Structure 1
Amino acid sequence: MKAIYLIGFMGSGKSSVLRLLAEKMALPGLDTDQQIEQTTGRTIPEIFKCQGEAIFREKETDTLMKMPKTDAVVATGGGIVESTMNRNWLKEHVFVVYLHTSLAEIDRRLGNDDSRPLWKKHEKTELYERRLEKYRQTADNLIETDGKSPEQVAEEIYQLIRKENTDMLGI
């Protein structure tokens, strides 16, 4: 089975849904940001501060290319869609689920979260709007997350995957 990759803006619930969905599907759950932190020995905010966003994006692409294409659930960083190479890789190799969350809901969830380098900037709305179409173009399916718990979102994706696999098998 193709690996399931979760994309969406920061605060959309990718990491929370990842844990629940991986457990429900009895598959390994991986997070690209955690992989970057393990590989570099630095946190994402440290990489942004010391090396800048461009270096982080290079590390993100390198990490993505090494992630599994089958039998796994993977949460990606919110900016993974900024790179055309990343979007093309995702579309070509894995099943992509976009966790769509309104900016108002994200603002409510994140508040003053200091651990996200790009959330502290004033251009949040511009960043959100710039990425929206990239998420939509990359995704095989879109799941609305506003007002839903991570458990509800994971169950919705699980049912979607079961239906997709059944449809593919002609059952």
Structure 2
Amino acid sequence: MTIVYLVGFMGSGKSTIAKRLSQLWNETYADTDQEIERMYEKKIPDIFIEQGESAFRDYESKVLKNLNEPIIATGGGIVERKENIEWMKQNGTIIYLYASFHEISKRLKDDMNRPLWGHSLEKRKILYKKRQAMYEACADITVDTDEKDVETVIQDIMECLNKSCMYLASYREVIIKSKER
């Protein structure tokens, strides 16, 4: 089984969806943010405060390359480094869990544990737009999560994965037939 990487802005549902997919597929999953906290024995906000975002991104890249679970929930900024995108492209399928800025704002309104969400509204919007373009550029599959419950998002993912598999199977069949000629 190829690795499924879930990418998206903070609050898009990556960790929740990874956990649910792992239950349905009877597979293990990993969450890069949780792994960073486990490996470095610090909470992410503390890493940002004590060492800065650049150090956190270094840890994130290292953790990403050491994970081999079939389902991986990534941190929202995983796409900030080209090397991470290349790694995920080479090793699996990237699923972008899209959520509008309005939806993210609703989901994170009471969350004080996200260092980059603590900025001004204008800075949050700039970060959102910048990353949205990155997610769209690297995604193999995009699933809209706005106003959807977990099970609906899971159904959408399964449909997209099935379509991708059918497309790849038919593509391989065309290649094989053309080689037989």
Query: Which residue is 2:12 aligned to?
Result: 12
> Aligned-pair distance for 1:14?
0.5
The structure having more radius of gyration, on CA atoms, is 2
The CA deviation string for residues 77-116 of structure 1, in whole angstroms up to 9 with x for no partner, is: 0000000111111122210000010000000111031100
Higher relative contact order (CA 8 A, sep 6+): 1
**Structure 1 unmatched runs, 5+:** none
> Aligned-pair distance for 1:67?
1.5
1:96-135 aligned within 5 A:
96-122=94-120, 123-135=123-135
Is this contact kept in 2: 1:21–1:155, CA < 8 A?
no
SS of structure 2 residue aligned to 1:119: helix
> Aligned-pair distance for 1:157?
1.0
Identity value in percent:
38
1:24-103 aligned within 5 A:
24-68=24-68, 72-103=70-101
The CA deviation string for residues 104-140 of structure 1, in whole angstroms up to 9 with x for no partner, is: 0000111031100000011100000111111011110
1:137 and 1:93 map into 2 onto residues whose CA distance is 17
Q: Does 1:157 align with 2:154?
A: no
**Structure 2 unmatched runs, 5+:** 174-181
Query: Which residue is 1:22 aligned to?
Result: 22
Aligned residues: 169
RMSD over aligned CA atoms reads 1.5
SS of structure 1 residue aligned to 2:162: helix
1:84 and 1:165 map into 2 onto residues whose CA distance is 26
Amino acid corresponding to residue 61 of structure 1 in structure 2: S
Instruction: Please report the TM-score for the alignment, with normalisation by the length of structure 2.
Output: 0.88
1:163 and 1:98 map into 2 onto residues whose CA distance is 16
Is this contact kept in 2: 1:103–1:128, CA < 8 A?
yes
Instruction: Please report the TM-score for the alignment, with normalisation by the length of structure 1.
Output: 0.93
> Aligned-pair distance for 1:26?
1.5
2:88 and 2:129 map into 1 onto residues whose CA distance is 20
1:91 and 1:137 map into 2 onto residues whose CA distance is 11
> Aligned-pair distance for 1:161?
2.2
Amino acid corresponding to residue 77 of structure 1 in structure 2: G
